[in-house]
Amino acid sequence: MSGLRLPLRLIALAFATVVIQQTAISQISIFGVSADLAPLVVMSVGLLAGSLPGAIMGFATGLLVDTVLVQTLGVTSLLYIVIGYWSGRVRELRDPAHGLVPLAVGAAATATAGIGMTLIQFLLGVDAPVSLVLAQQIFVTVLVNTLLALPVYAVVRRVIQPALPEDPRRRRRRAYTTGGLSPLQRPSQRLGPISRSPR
């Protein structure tokens, strides 16, 4: 049952994200656009859990979005898979520990979702003319989502972190910063001075 904790939490998170987005967030207009929580949530899962869970979360969330909006199935999933996977790769390759990393990755994820959706609709022949107004809407959406990236990341971390396996890299880093053993120390330094027994 412990192995199902993370998948169950991700499923619940995907449903909650789509429901909140469509029932509440989409009704709030900021500078003429609405925030888009879905790419931020997918990005956060990738940064916290890795590339594979991020890609799976992206596929599931995108499929739910396409179903709710009654649009071509798989279009949003394709974009969110890319967002989740590359967010996870950032975690696996760079192991970002800086608190502002979700801001940059969230902005990139939102830009990928907006520009990618426009390009895919254009290739599919959907009547969505590319104009300066559309570019402005994408830009403003990126700005709004950047402001929301840290709060969304904090909520996602609170939801899924109890189900995540401990990262050995962070365990080693925590050991070093709390006075644990470092592999650069000599064995005698690790054990401290050896007291000689009196003869």
Q: In this predicted structure, what is the pLDDT of residue 174?
A: 47
Average pLDDT, the chain: 82
Please tell me which residue, 177 or 74, carries the higher pLDDT value. Answer: 74
43-98: pLDDT as tens digits: 999 999 999 999 999 999 999 999 998 888 888 999 999 999 999 999 888 766 67
The CATH fold assigned to 2-191 is Arp2/3 complex 21 kDa subunit ARPC3 (1.10.1760)
Burial per residue of 164-185, b for 16 or more beta-carbon CB atoms within 10 angstroms, e otherwise: eeeeeeeeeeeeeeeeeeeeee
Whose tokens are 């426009």? That residue is: 118
Contact status, residue 112 vs residue 39, Cβ threshold 8 Å: yes
Name residues whose C-beta falls within 8 Å of residue 164's C-beta, 6 or more positions apart in sequence: 6, 48, 49
Tell me the two tokens of residue 114.
Answer: 């907006």
| Beta carbons of 17 and 41 less than 8 angstroms apart | yes
For the full predicted model, state whether its pTM sits above 0.85. Answer: no
